[in-house]
Amino acid sequence: MSISFDLTIPSARDALAQAARANLTPKPSLVGLTRAEMGEALAGIGVPERQVKMRVAQLWHWLYVRGVADFADMLNISKDMRSLLAQHFSIGRPEIVDEQISNDGTRKWLFRFPPRGAGRPVEIETVYIPEEGRGTLCISSQVGCTLTCSFCHTGTQKLVRNLTAEEILGQLMAARDRLGDFPDQNTPDGAMVPADGRKVTNIVMMGMGEPLYNFEEVKKALLIASDGDGLSLSKRRITLSTSGVVPEIYRTGEEIGVMLAISLHAVRDDLRDMLVPINKKYPLKELIAACRAYPGLSNARRITFEYVMLKDVNDSLDDAKELVRLLKGIPAKINLIPFNPWPGTNYQCSDWEQIERFADYVNNAGYASPIRTPRGRDILAACGQLKSESERMRKTDRLALEAMMIAGHGED
């Protein structure tokens, strides 16, 4: 039997739209839930109360230690229980739309997440940077960004929505899949990864978006990522970067306890107002005071200050001197970032000799001031270059994509 709709009738259009939204609604995921939330979810589908704690422990191990993405692979859980879980929940990964590999081994993934509510599918970018003895994953916290930093490509993309804890963790778990970083997985041939141990040793919340404008979901994701019985990343190997959302900085140290990075980029309020407009709301005096009060701050747990080098804008010796004065007394490392060009920008990277003079002055003043080696420039994966392809999709392309997703739902 076939069903047809006369789309000239408003009620028919409304009914079709409602049906489409229903088909697009995914099963809730267990990824990104706290143990307490997972227990409540299991109880909600009829798992006996006396079993809930045990089942949560089993699921936690399979999800975050073994890295499985299918309930059928959870071999110490009964077949009936696996069937019940699969009926009500999902544990899958984000769709990988594209994977690009730079000449220097940097990898950039374009991940697609399904619609939420009345929204549409969204895409974000995640970057893996292999180095000697470590592999760093740069994770996004939002689709787009509200901050409109003038030198940042991501800042030219308007905010679409926050990512959930599931979607933040999904980037890490999908990257570990692709790199063979879970047990019983193989590393892709020719992949540049650390020779021993983990392939993803560090994560940085430096991708698309402002993490502290999505505090609760970022907090939940990072606490799961650092859980010793799961993904087990050391909090000293997790860095959260903010452009200066001052009210949430203290909470970050107190409630999450990870390393802090500040996107500074200027040492005068007038210039920072232009480069990093959030400075108009939280000027340098307030930002630096919040840094001095960061919980756990010490020489062993320094704050990283990110400083992009823009030719004839913020790269003078006077800027270097003011930077040292501004940060006096704060245990800090200063990352100097050669500006990474992107189409349409009016900025240029500082001359290399000027960057080295700047670095020498800061270093001689007692601050480590490494010059960050640009990585992944050829695939627009370097710092400040991320911008999801979804925001360049034409409306007709987006509608076609959504139609394909509707067609794939509800089939046996």
The CA-based angle 124-125-128, given to 5 degrees, is 150
Question: Does the structure show a pLDDT above 70 at 25?
Answer: no
In this prediction, residue 116 carries a pLDDT of 82
Return all residues near 177 (Cβ < 8 A) that are at least 6 apart. 67, 69, 93, 185
Can you say which residues are annotated as belonging to the binding site for S-adenosyl-L-methionine?
209-210, 241, 263-265, 340
Instruction: Using CA atoms of 186, 192, 194, 197 in order, give the dihedral in degrees to the nearest 10.
Output: -10
In this prediction, residue 106 carries a pLDDT of 92
Q: Which of 138, 291, 349, 383 is catalytic?
A: 383
Tokens of 164: 């959930």
Spatial separation of the C-alpha atoms in residues 381 and 389, rounded to whole Å:
13
Neighbours of 2 (CB within 10 A): 3
Spatial separation of the C-alpha atoms in residues 113 and 124, rounded to whole Å:
8
* Residue 167 annotated to the active site: no
Question: Does the structure show a pLDDT above 80 at 24?
Answer: no
Percent of the chain with pLDDT over 90: 70
What's phi and psi for 8, nearest 5 deg? -80, -10
In this prediction, residue 148 carries a pLDDT of 62
Q: Of residues 388 and 188, which shows the higher confidence score?
A: 188
Going by C-alpha positions, the residue among 351, 348, 343, 355 that lies closest to residue 385 is: 343
CB-CB contact of 114 with 405 (8 Å): yes
Per-residue HEC secondary structure of 28-67 comes to CECCCCCHHHHHHHHHHCCCCHHHHHHHHHHHHHHHHHHC
pLDDT band at residue 192 under the 50/70/90 scheme: confident
Residue 320: exposure state from Cβ atoms within 10 A (0-12, 13-18, ≥19): buried
Q: Which of 123, 125, 166, 167 is catalytic?
A: 125
Can you say which residues are annotated as belonging to the binding site?
145, 149, 152, 209-210, 241, 263-265, 340
Tokens of 119: 């929204």
In this prediction, residue 119 carries a pLDDT of 77
Can you say which residues are annotated as belonging to the binding site for [4Fe-4S] cluster?
145, 149, 152
Question: Does the structure show a pLDDT above 50 at 312?
Answer: yes
In this prediction, residue 77 carries a pLDDT of 96
Question: How do residues 330-348 score in pLDDT, each as one tens digit?
Answer: 999 999 999 987 777 888 9
Q: Of residues 80 and 119, which shows the higher confidence score?
A: 80
Question: Does the structure show a pLDDT above 50 at 274?
Answer: yes
Q: Of residues 404 and 183, which shows the higher confidence score?
A: 183
Question: Does the structure show a pLDDT above 50 at 404?
Answer: no
Percent of the chain with pLDDT over 70: 82
In this prediction, residue 57 carries a pLDDT of 98
Question: Does the structure show a pLDDT above 70 at 1?
Answer: no
The full set of domains in the chain, from first to last, is 18-92 (1.10.150.530), 95-391 (3.20.20.70)
What's phi and psi for 215, nearest 5 deg? -60, -50
Question: How do residues 153-169 score in pLDDT, each as one tens digit?
Answer: 655 678 889 999 999 99
Which is it for strands 259-263 and 332-338: parallel, antiparallel or unpaired? unpaired
Question: Does the structure show a pLDDT above 70 at 212?
Answer: yes
In this prediction, residue 120 carries a pLDDT of 87
pLDDT band at residue 185 under the 50/70/90 scheme: confident
Question: How do residues 354-398 score in pLDDT, each as one tens digit?
Answer: 999 999 999 999 999 999 876 656 655 444 444 444 444 444 343
What is the mean pLDDT of the segment spanning 281-291?
A: 98
In this prediction, residue 196 carries a pLDDT of 81
* Residue 123 annotated to the active site: no
CB-CB contact of 252 with 258 (8 Å): yes
In this prediction, residue 382 carries a pLDDT of 46
Question: How do residues 65-111 score in pLDDT, each as one tens digit?
Answer: 999 999 999 999 999 999 999 999 999 999 999 999 988 889 999 99
What is the mean pLDDT of the segment spanning 388-411?
A: 38
